Amino acid sequence: MSQHLSEQELLRRQKLAELQQLGINPYPADEFKINVNALDIKENYERDKLNYKDVSIAGRVMSIRDMGKACFAVIQDSTARIQIYIRKDDICPTDDKTLYDVVWKKLTDIGDIIGIEGYVFTTKTGEISIHTTSFKILSKALKPLPIVKTDESGNSFDEVSDPEFRYRQRYVDLIINPQVRDTFKKRTQIVNSIRNTLNNAGLLEVETPILQSIPGGATARPFITHHNALNIPLYLRIANELYLKRLIVGGFDGVYEFAKDFRNEGMDRTHNPEFTVLEFYVAYKDYNWMMKFSEELLEKVVLDLYGKTTVTVGDKEIDFAAPFKRVTMYDAIKEHTGVDISNLDEEGLRKVCKDLNIHVEASMGKGKLIDEIFGAKCEGNYIQPTFITDYPVEMSPLTKKHRTNAGLVERFELMVNGKEIANAYSELNDPIDQRERFEEQLKLQERGDDEAMFIDHDFLRALEYGMPPTAGIGIGIDRLTMMLTNNAAIQEVLFFPQMRPEHKAED
RNA sequence: GAUUCCGUAGCUCAGCAGGUAGAGCAUUACACUUUUAAUGUAAGGGUCCUGGGUUCGAAUCCCAGCGGGAUCACCA
């Protein structure tokens, strides 16, 4: 089995051997003590110069400009890039010039990770740099790093833009494209901000099963796996709703989980087979409370991220300042189609869909038909954050019936930039009603709807012990992150999006 | 799943009326002790995605496959 190596890869292996011949371990085990990072130097050196006379820093070599007896190089650590200056006589004060002439100039490449000691200074062109007094190879790179160059006005050259390359080799993408790293830092900031708000509100972060024998809490096709010892099929969860509600039954007032969910459906730029949803449930509240809480939560997230409530998404400016607009689903459909569907039966709805040129399936029930109309004609119009409220009962089998409007449930979805990013309701806690709703789902299943929910008898048993009135919500973290970082593809906010396997010829 | 575009050096790309491949950066060598897309001179580097077909001859034309992007369908 031989690996096909390019000229550059062969050369780097030769350099590796030469280092070893010189008695240098290219992958040393000992700790390299760091006392500063690149960002710290860049931000604080000018006003605190005395503090940067003896720095020790490590990073990856990103570029080298060789001036003969001196070199400029740029290294990158986790915080920033910084220029280093290496002069032959400074790192080789004696007659032995091997360290500079051989180890540095011949055997160190772009992509290698080095540790240096030195002092910070400003070059005559005004760039804060580190004057190196000693350097050490900490890890030799055997593959050449794609070089992205940027000129003074910020134009980049040879930027690696091939999505396949970037997603499959995200580690390279992260090294060479700083804006990618920034997106993922923002993702973590978003999650941290939400977590802080929920913790401050007294909610408890919990973990619930990913492997479930009945995949519940949503309508979607699941992944199926098998447990060998129990010899039973298990499903990867499509939602964690039913487990979080069991915990509300158990006496917690508020619980939340950032849950990886899995759905065995198509993939595109807004769908990955595994994705993250925040769900949280609060006892003794209703969906009106949840609207208020969630709009404040999102306003806070945006404020924490950008210090203001507005975000640029594509060519649009979106303002997350609370309160958000509230529109009922029937009003939304009336406004965008001119049709009042509030009193139509299934046949009537089918006719409306036909008139509006909306594709429907025979298996679709009343709720699904209304959802199709909303999706086709209304959804895209809500750019600024808007709560769409009061959904038909047929499409919300886990939601409490509306307190005043028959046929509706107390549910809202939050639409931003024409897309749904949250789904919430007053949770159905009437066990008799819940059982009937599950049975309705069973009928849909018999009509051929392969996404209809299964009956979860243990969940019904839990409700029969009594669940307090509860408000619950699910927020798509990937989609929220896409929006708040102005990315159009979910693959841009997942470190390792699902890809078809690379087939490798075995030789 | 459907339609459509794409796959050439480590990276970004050119090459296509069919004649066994080019540029810039990167790499190698030399010069240069504050440069910054450093510069100058020279050199090396390719199963042109894979497999078939047409042809005297295919990176180029045709077919199939693999991978990716975009649009659509389903969904969060």
Nucleotide closest to A109 measured between CA and C1': B27
Q: Say whether both A152 and A184 belong to one domain.
A: no
Q: Is residue A436 part of a domain?
A: yes
Identity of the residue numbered A61: V
At A281 the three-state DSSP class reads strand
Same domain flag for A260 and A393: yes
Q: Round and report the angstrom distance from CA (A8) to C1' (B17).
A: 38
pLDDT confidence of residue A3: 60
Q: Which nucleotides of B are covered by protein (CB under 7 A)?
A: 1, 9-13, 24-29, 31-39, 44-47, 66-76
- Residues of the domain holding A152: 7-158
| Within a domain: A410 | yes
Q: Residue A443: what pLDDT?
A: 85
Nearest residue to B10, CA vs C1'?
A144
- How many Å does it take to go from CA A254 to C1' B1? 42
Co-location of A72 and A128 in the same domain: yes
Same domain, A137 and A196: no
Token pair in block for residue A308: 């203001």
How many structural domains is chain A composed of?
A: 2
Q: Is A232 helix (H, G, I), strand (E, B) or coil?
A: strand
The Cα A402–Cα A398 span in angstroms is: 12
- Look up the ipTM and state it: 0.91
Instruction: Say which nucleotide is closest to residue A4, CA to C1' distance.
Output: B47
Residue A130 and residue A269 in one domain: no
Nucleotide nearest to A167 (CA to C1'): B68
**Bridge partners, residue A456, by sequence:** none
Same domain, A209 and A107: no
The alpha carbon torsion through A347, A348, A351, A356 (nearest 10 deg) reads -140
Same domain, A255 and A390: yes
Residue A166 within any structural domain of the chain: no
Nearest-angstrom CA–CA distance, A414 and A322 = 13
| Per-residue tokens: A220 | 């979607």
Is residue A141 located within the same domain as residue A187?
A: no
Give the per-residue pLDDT at A456: 94
Burial label, A133 (beta-carbon count in 10 A; 0-12, 13-18, 19+): middle
Å between A14 CA and B47 C1'? 24
Quick one: which residue's CA is nearest to B35's C1'? A72
Q: Residue A101 CA to B57 C1' — how many Å?
A: 51
Distance, in Å, from the CA atom of A223 to the CA atom of A219, rounded to the nearest integer, reads 13
Do A320 and A436 lie in one domain? The reply is: yes
Assign residue A61 the CATH number of its domain. 2.40.50.140
**Is there a domain that residue A507 lies in?**
no
Calculate the angstrom distance between C1' of B62 and CA of A491: 36
> What ranges in A307-397 are assigned the alpha helix state H?
329-337, 346-355, 366-377
DSSP summary character for residue A219: -
pLDDT on residue A503: 66
Between CA A506 and CA A187 the distance in angstroms is 38
Report CA(A69)–C1'(B38) in Å, whole number: 15
> Which tens digits make up the pLDDT trace of A365-406?
788 888 888 888 898 899 999 999 999 888 889 999 999 998
User: How far: A2 CA to B55 C1' (Å)?
Assistant: 36
In chain A, which residues have pLDDT < 70?
1-3, 503-507
The answer as to whether A168 is a domain residue is no
In a domain, A346, yes or no: no
Domain contains A355: no
How far from A379 is each of A372, A395, A464, CA to CA, in Å? 10, 16, 37
Nucleotide nearest to A71 (CA to C1'): B35
Q: Using the structure block, give the residue that is written with the tokens 């110069």.
A: A49
Domain boundary among A127, A158, A189: A158
Are residues A188 and A316 part of one domain? yes
A99, A124, A158 — which closes off a domain?
Answer: A158
Q: Which two tokens stand for residue A488?
A: 């159009």
Please say which residue of A94, A128, A158 terminates a domain: A158
- So what's the pLDDT on residue A434? 96
Give the domain CATH number at A407: 3.30.930.10
Taking the C1' atom of every nucleotide in all shown strands and the CA of A165, the nearest one is: B68
Separation of CA A495 and C1' B37 in angstroms? 29
Hey, which bits of A68-227 come out as E strands?
70-76, 81-87, 113-122, 128-139, 149-150, 156-157, 204-205, 211-212, 224-227
Query: What distance in Å separates the CA atoms of residue A72 and residue A53, rounded to the nearest whole number?
Result: 19
- Residue A337 is assigned to a structural domain of this protein: no
Q: pTM for the whole thing? A: 0.93
Distance CA A280, CA A257 (A): 7
A197 and A135 in a common domain: no
Supply the pLDDT for residue A483. Answer: 94
Nucleotide at minimal C1' distance from the A90 CA: B33
How far, CA to CA in Å, does A123 sit from each of A16, A74, A128?
Answer: 32, 14, 7
Do A196 and A153 share a structural domain? Answer: no
Q: What is the pLDDT of residues A171-210, one digit of tens each?
A: 999 999 999 999 999 999 999 999 999 999 999 999 999 9
